[in-house]
Amino acid sequence: QVQLVESGGGSVQAGGSLRLSCVVSGHANRTYCMGWFRQAPGKEREGIVRIYTHHGGPLYLPSVRDRFTLSRDTASNTLYLQMNSLNPEDTAMYYCAADDRPDTCLKFLRQREYKYEGQGLQVTVSS
């Protein structure tokens, strides 16, 4: 089992920044990928960034690529999402996710469910 515990989030004005954190515990090394997705009210889930656990760099949703940065601290098994230049369209619940299925990881940004998901954080951006 893998547990994901998120922290951060909150409210910010347009143009502001927030950083989300996700501590990955349990059998983290058995995951194939990790990342973040979000869900705005009345909308479908949207994968925003994925990284393979043991190789490669992050893959971003185009609309966040130049504003969001994924990083991780392998020593503490913590995943970070730095979000800059936030706008009201970024308002959503943000979730940390991980999966051990290669096919799911390949389609991470288009997935609607993941094997392991955090409890979610509210991010609200006001204009």
pLDDT at position 55 over 90: no
CA distance 118 to 23: 9
Comparison of pLDDT for 54 and 98, the residue scoring more: 98
> Could you give the percent of the chain with pLDDT greater than 90?
86
95 to each of 17, 49, 127, how far by Cα in Å? 17, 11, 23
Whether 47 shows a pLDDT value over 90: the answer reads: yes
Inform me whether the pLDDT recorded for 39 exceeds 90: yes
Tell me, what's the pLDDT at 74?
Answer: 87
Q: Which residues pair with 36 in a beta bridge?
A: 49, 96
